[in-house]
Amino acid sequence: MPHTRKIIIDTDPGQDDAVAILLALGSAELDIVGISAVAGNVPLNLTEKNARKICELAGRPDIKVYAGAIRPLARELVTAEEVHGKTGLNGPQLRNPTMKLQDQYAVDFIVETLMNEPSGTITLCALGPLTNVALALIREPRIAPRIKEIVLMGGGFFEGGNVTPTAEFNIYVDPHAADVVFKAGIPIVMMPLDVTHKALTTAKRTQAFRQLGTRVGIATSEMLEFFERFDEEKYGTDGGPLHDPCVIAYLLKPELFKGRNCNVSVEITSELTMGMTVIDWWGVTKRPQNAMVMRDIDHDAFFALLVERLGLL
Ligand code: RIB
Ligand code: CA
């Protein structure tokens, strides 16, 4: 068996989260130790159910799904039904899951896994607000040096924000959690809007999933056709940005991405810029470089990888 990389996916499905989870499930290089759901795109009772729906869609009811934080650390929960629909997974008709939700609280699962697995062997893939990750770090600070890497979708700088003029959704929902994570001294790879906005689900690309002719391929095209309409109207583009799969694609083919080590600091005081990720791209401060910030993607190769791997499910 080739060397596999152990990952925990922390997620708020969300159609783009769903495609990221499918990409991971279709990739033998990755060993999904568990999926932890967090409140974000829709409330927790739906994100955890959606995570289980996606595992069953992929024929993987064996995957362990855990429910985590029901709300951000300090602020009220802000959701995004206008983008993802009332269920958070509008588009395909997916039946209610029969696989069971794990009893263990997701934050305890994250802490326990990191304390029990050999140090440096677990990668956290964060696709939603960082509440679960921050809670785990606060509950057990000893996990920080044991985490191999955190690869996260969140933030934005040259692209601005997608919730406010300056803040991207995942960071905006829980800026205090993001502040904890970016200050934890853990190796971070960041996929901000600056790179995800270059990965557009054009009609041709969405059609390629449908042409797989499989349950997964057809459901994926239906998810994307629903999900992309909000950003197509907003940005006037052919297709919408496929954010979260960039995280998993990086683990599989890091060469698809280009970026640089920067300092990333999170605004947690001003309401005007709350949740802004201030990225010191030109190194004008002495602040420590705490993240590899991605800005470019080979988007044709990215979508080819997605079609190839989802075609295996
Ligand atoms: O801003 C995009 C991010 O917010 C994605 O992770 C999407 O799923 C939502 O969670
Ligand atoms: Ca997400």
What does the alpha-carbon distance between residue 210 and residue 47 come to, in Å, rounded to a whole number?
24
What does the alpha-carbon distance between residue 218 and residue 208 come to, in Å, rounded to a whole number?
10
- Give one DSSP letter per residue of 40-68, joined into a string: SSS-HHHHHHHHHHHHHHTT-TTS-EEE-
What does the alpha-carbon distance between residue 41 and residue 28 come to, in Å, rounded to a whole number?
28
DSSP 8-state secondary structure symbol assigned to residue 33:
E
Domain covering 5-310: architecture: Alpha-Beta Complex (3.90)
- Asked whether the beta carbons of 53 and 23 are under 8 A apart, the reply is no
pLDDT of residue 125: 99
CB count, 10 Å around CB of 102? 16
DSSP 8-state secondary structure symbol assigned to residue 276:
B
Instruction: Give the Å distance between the CA of 118 and the centre of ligand 1.
Output: 31
Mutate which of 170, 174, 197, 224 for ligand 1 pocket (most atoms within 8 A of beta carbon): 170
Domain ranges of the chain: 5-310
What phi-psi label fits residue 6: left (phi over 0), alpha (psi between -120 and 50 degrees) or beta? beta
- Asked whether the beta carbons of 242 and 200 are under 8 A apart, the reply is yes
- Specify the DSSP element, H or E, that contains 304: helix 299-310
Per residue of the chain (313 residues), give pLDDT as tens: 557 999 999 999 999 999 999 999 999 999 999 999 999 999 999 999 999 999 999 999 999 999 999 999 999 999 999 999 999 999 999 999 999 999 999 999 999 999 999 999 999 999 999 999 999 999 999 999 999 999 999 999 999 999 999 999 999 999 999 999 999 999 999 999 999 999 999 999 999 999 999 999 999 999 999 999 999 999 999 999 999 999 999 999 999 999 999 999 999 999 999 999 999 999 999 999 999 999 999 999 999 999 999 999 9
Q: What is the CA radius of gyration of the chain?
A: 18
243 among known catalytic residues: yes
Mutate which of 41, 42, 197 for ligand 1 pocket (most atoms within 8 A of beta carbon): 41
pLDDT of residue 3: 74
What does the alpha-carbon distance between residue 73 and residue 53 come to, in Å, rounded to a whole number?
27
DSSP 8-state secondary structure symbol assigned to residue 98:
-
- Asked whether the beta carbons of 77 and 173 are under 8 A apart, the reply is yes
pLDDT of residue 2: 58
pLDDT of residue 240: 95
DSSP 8-state secondary structure symbol assigned to residue 198:
T
- Asked whether the beta carbons of 212 and 199 are under 8 A apart, the reply is no
CB count, 10 Å around CB of 230? 16
Q: From the CB of 184, is ligand 1 less than 6 Å away?
A: no
Query: Which of 300, 123, 62 has the alpha carbon at shortest distance from 198?
Result: 300
pLDDT of residue 133: 99
pLDDT by residue (tens digit) across 111-146? Answer: 999 999 999 999 999 999 999 999 999 999 999 999
pTM: 0.98
Q: From the CB of 172, is ligand 1 less than 6 Å away?
A: no
